[in-house]
Chain A
Amino acid sequence: MSAEKKSVENNDILIKVVDLKKNFGDLQVLKGVSEDIRKGEVVSVIGPSGGGKSTFLRCLNLLEIPDGGKVYFEGVDITDKSVDINKHRQKMGMVFQHFNVFPNMTVGENITMAPVLLGKKTKEEADKLADELLLRVGLSDKKNEYPQKLSGGQKQRLAIVRALAMEPDVMLFDEPTSALDPEMVGEVLQVIKELVKTGMTTVIVTHEMGFAKEISDRVLFMDGGIIAEEGTPEEVFENPKNPRTKEFLSKVLY
Chain B
Amino acid sequence: MIENIVRVWEKYWPLFVQGIGMTLLLSAIIVLCGSILGFLIALLRMSKLKVFHIKPLNAIASIYVEIIRGTPMLLQLYFFYFLLPEMLPFMNLPPIVCVTVALCLNSAAYVSEVIRAGIQGIDKGQSEAARSLGLNQRQAMMKVVLPQAIKNILPALGNEFVMMIKDTSLASTFFAGELMTVYKTVSGIVYLPIEPLIIVGIVYLVVTFSLSKLVQLFERRMATA
Residues of A within 8 A of B (CB): 61, 63, 86-87, 89-90, 92-94, 96, 98, 100-104, 113-114, 117-118, 159, 162-163, 166
Chain B residue contacts of A61, Cβ below 8 A? 132
Contact A89 B129 (CB under 8 A): no
Contact B125 A89 (CB under 8 A): no
Contact A163 B133 (CB under 8 A): yes
Binding site of B, secondary structure by majority: helix, strand, loop or mixed?
Answer: helix
Candidates B126, B134, B147; contact of A89 at CB < 8 Å: B134
Chain A residue contacts of B123, Cβ below 8 A? 98, 100
Contact A89 B148 (CB under 8 A): no
Chain B residue contacts of A100, Cβ below 8 A? 123, 125-126, 128-129
Chain A residue contacts of B213, Cβ below 8 A? none
Of all chain B residues, which has the CB nearest A92?
B132
A-B contact pairs, 5 of them (CB 8 A): A61-B132, A63-B131, A63-B132, A114-B130, A117-B139
Contact A102 B133 (CB under 8 A): no
Binary interface encoding of chain B residues 116-130 relative to chain A, with 1 for a CB under 8 A from any of its CBs, else 0: 000000010110111
Is B144 interfacial (CB 8 A cutoff)? yes
Contact B128 A102 (CB under 8 A): no
A207 to B126, CA, bound (A): 23
Contact status of A117 and B143, CB under 8 A, knowing A87-B134, A89-B134, A166-B134: yes
Chain A residue contacts of B147, Cβ below 8 A? 104
Is B105 interfacial (CB 8 A cutoff)? no
Contact B144 A89 (CB under 8 A): no
A159 to B136, CA, bound (A): 19
Is B135 interfacial (CB 8 A cutoff)? yes
A98 to B123, CA, bound (A): 10
Chain B residue contacts of A94, Cβ below 8 A? 129, 132
Contact status of A89 and B143, CB under 8 A, knowing A96-B125, A100-B123, A102-B126: no
Contact A96 B143 (CB under 8 A): no
A90 to B133, CA, bound (A): 5
Chain B residue contacts of A159, Cβ below 8 A? 129
Candidates B129, B135, B144; contact of A96 at CB < 8 Å: B129
Contact status of A86 and B135, CB under 8 A, knowing A103-B148, A104-B144: yes
Of all chain A residues, which has the CB nearest B144?
A102
Contact B132 A98 (CB under 8 A): no
Candidates A86, A92, A98; contact of B125 at CB < 8 Å: A98
A68 to B155, CA, bound (A): 44
Chain A residue contacts of B129, Cβ below 8 A? 94, 96, 100-102, 159, 162
A90 to B128, CA, bound (A): 13
A61 to B132, CA, bound (A): 7
